[in-house]
Amino acid sequence: MESSIGELILSGCKLMLIGMSIVFLFLALLVWIIGVTSRLINRYSPESAGQVPYPGSAHAVGQEPESEAELVAAISAAIHSYQNP
């Protein structure tokens, strides 16, 4: 039951190619499934009328503060909230 080194290397290469092919096919299938799912979600999900502000925020997302003082106050409040959970 002795195998020569050449037969072992050939057997190892065959096994490597089979394993790499299986992984490649699985990953290709996964990419395809994610793409189809993304298209389905974009097609059937309702379009949002606008951006919803995060809970506790003073302004809607994307809305500029009216003055620099409001911006400083918002940053200060965020830092205080982060430091004092």
Do the domain assignments include residue 71?
no
> Which residues constitute the domain of residue 39?
1-43
What pLDDT sits at residue 69?
86
The pLDDT tens digits along the chain (85 residues) read 688 999 999 999 999 999 999 999 999 999 999 999 999 998 888 766 555 555 655 555 556 667 888 888 889 999 998 888 7
* CB-neighbour burial class of residue 42 (10 A; exposed 0-12, middle 13-18, buried 19+): exposed
The pTM of the full predicted model, rounded to 2 decimals, is 0.50
Do the domain assignments include residue 4?
yes
What pLDDT sits at residue 59?
53
Domain tally for the chain?
1
Do the domain assignments include residue 6?
yes
User: If you search the block for the tokens 């949002």, which residue do you land on?
Assistant: 48
What pLDDT sits at residue 74?
87
